[in-house]
Amino acid sequence: MLGGIFEKNKIKEKIQTFNKKIVQENFWKEKLSAQKILKEKKFLENIFDDFNSTVKELENLEQLLELAAKENDIVVTKDCEKKINLLLNQIKKTEVSCFLSEENDHLDTYLEIHAGAGGTESQDWAQMLRRMYSKWIEKKKSKFEIINEHRGDEAGIKSSTLKITGPYMYGWLKSESGVHRLVRISPFDSGARRHTSFASVWVYPVVDDSIKIDIQEKDIRVDTYRSSGAGGQHVNTTDSAVRITHLPTNIVVQCQNERSQHKNKETCFNMLKARLYKYEIQKKDEASENLAKSKTDIGWGHQIRSYVLQPYQLVKDLRNNLENTDPDSVLDGDIDEFLEAALYQTKD
């Protein structure tokens, strides 16, 4: 509760800052920037109002509970306790929303998944992770599109990039960057032996037009190639897929979801801007070195979460030791408790 009150005061200060900006004469000069400020101000005001109304209702219920206890009214006492528990859950949700108030949290996001070493096993695990995030996105009533995908030779995916659109998607998912580990009896092993598979997840924000990223033509290499697919009517027979390499940073982005090479190239440039923006943020972050290691080394010692299906059932976040003994529900997209715990952890 104290954490929420602390964030509430911080949010109140932000609202006051926005109010000062809005009354300035040149506020509407940059339309995109103005709309962004108004949208964030409205979001913060809703949090502020929800918090105040919920706390007020909680205080009223506590007073009613005291009266019911004095009169030994069991029915009213039980009803008050139920309502108080509901309000406490609402306060927790409001507090979590408070933690989505960092500079880039409101942005849409790209999410990349890459299979680790291990062939079909890891590629199948990468596809399971993509399904998990897809289910979570649906639960949040948000949307996603597959920007790029390389399918496995036998099953699963070697890599996949999603563009996720919805309220505060980057804020929710930014903590998912890292290596995810799966332990299970392999469906691809005729001997039914237990296998350990790894896949990496990489999350970075979709930058809007208010964020200026300068990309020099001399710093990039553009390659085109034929899109891969499962065949049928959607198979692409032209070199419309695009890969762009940023030479100074060795950042590579690719897109093949459009038939038009021009549209794929435009999407690639947007992704590259997002990656470069994230790269600049990381350079200012003291933890960027550890994050880079977790992205590049997809294996033992760098995982952020472990999903064990056999010999027991457990999903464990290795950063905060949060555990869930129902991995089926987690893999069906019920990951809010892990995302919320990560938000709380960043404020410790």
The 10s digit of each residue's pLDDT in 293-342 is 545 555 555 689 999 999 999 999 999 999 999 999 999 999 999 999 99
**Number of Cβ within a 10 Å radius of residue 284:** 7
CA distance 40 to 53: 20
| 8 Å CB contact between 245 and 223 | yes
Orientation of helix 2-22 relative to helix 74-98, angle to 10°: 50
pLDDT tens readout for residues 18-59: 888 888 878 888 777 787 788 778 878 888 888 888 888 888
- pLDDT, residue 285, reads 63
CA distance 101 to 168: 9
To the question of pTM greater than 0.85 for the whole model, the response is no
**Beta pairing partners, 146:** 162
| 8 Å CB contact between 220 and 246 | yes
Largest Cα span, the chain: 81
Domains in the chain: ranges and CATH: 2-98 (1.20.58), 108-348 (3.30.70.1660)
